[in-house]
Amino acid sequence: MVISPAADQAPPESRDTAPTDDPATDAALVALAQRGDRAAFALLYRRHGPMVHAVVLTRVDLSEAEDITQEVFLLAWRKLGGLHEGSSVGAWLASIARSRAADWRRSRGRRRRHETLASRAESTPDAGAGAVLEAVRTLPQRYREALLMRLLAGLTGAQIAERLGLTPGSVRVHLHRAMTMARARLSEERR
């Protein structure tokens, strides 16, 4: 067997985004998962879990967000056959997260949670985190999502743009307006 040094390999496609946003890997994992490969789906869970959690957290309390994130992925597993563009799985998961979190809010208090996805006792935020989350939740929806995708999931502006279906320039504006508004809210609270 011959090992080809990297310099001798075919020129790879140029890529400006972080590895977690690699559409080719997403597409390959989706194709495997669509054939019932749970290991591949678990990798999608790892890659996109922080982003889905951030989207969910813009709409529900922290104590519920982990459970709902799990439900989003369970729902995604069931619906995966209907996803035609595997490379868009991030945006697709974000849309499921929005819908699931909205459902959860509507039915809160009237529905028993899935037994295998019990909430964790330690998921109550401390005072600092609670204040920040409250401030973030007063922002317009798009601003909230962009800000938490950036601060909690560590996505870049370009990655957020893909998830939200916006241009990178719009996301840049969203992020800065969101941060300015969050600062103002928190500063009002401190007075």
Q: Are 158 and 168 in contact (CB under 8 A)?
A: yes
Pinpoint the alpha helices (H) of 7-140. Answer: 23-34, 38-57, 62-79, 89-107, 127-137
45 binds another protein (CB under 8 A): yes
In terms of Cα–Cα distance, which of 41, 52, 126, 43 is closest to 79?
A: 41
Q: State yes or no: residue 121 binds another protein (CB under 8 A).
A: no
Extract the tokens encoding 116: 């295998």
Task: Provide the phi-psi class of 44: left if phi over 0, else alpha when psi is between -120 and 50, else beta.
Answer: alpha
Binding residue (CB under 8 A) for another protein from 57, 97, 139, 181? 57
Q: Which of 7, 12, 17, 35 is nearest to 160 (CA)?
A: 17
Residue 165 touching another protein (CB under 8 A): no
Q: Which of residues 17-36 bind another protein (CB under 8 A)?
A: 18-20, 22, 25, 28-29, 32, 34-36
Contact between 131 and another protein by CB under 8 A: the answer reads yes
What residue has token string 């995966």? Answer: 80
Q: How many amino acids of this chain bind another protein (CB under 8 A)?
A: 79
- In which element (H, E) is residue 162 found? helix 157-164
Among 23, 27, 40, 95, binds another protein (CB under 8 A): 40
Q: Which of 27, 125, 142, 166 binds another protein (CB under 8 A)?
A: 125
Determine if 63 is a binding residue for another protein (CB under 8 A).
no
Using rule CB under 8 A, residue 111 touches another protein: no
Q: Is 177 in the site for another protein (CB under 8 A)?
A: no
Q: How far is the CB of 38 from another protein (least distance, A)?
A: 5
Choose the stretch contacting another protein; rule: CB under 8 A; options: 66-74, 91-99, 101-109, 137-145.
66-74
Rounded to the nearest whole angstrom, what is the least distance from the CB of residue 140 to another protein in the complex?
17
Output the six-digit token pair for 3: 């090992």
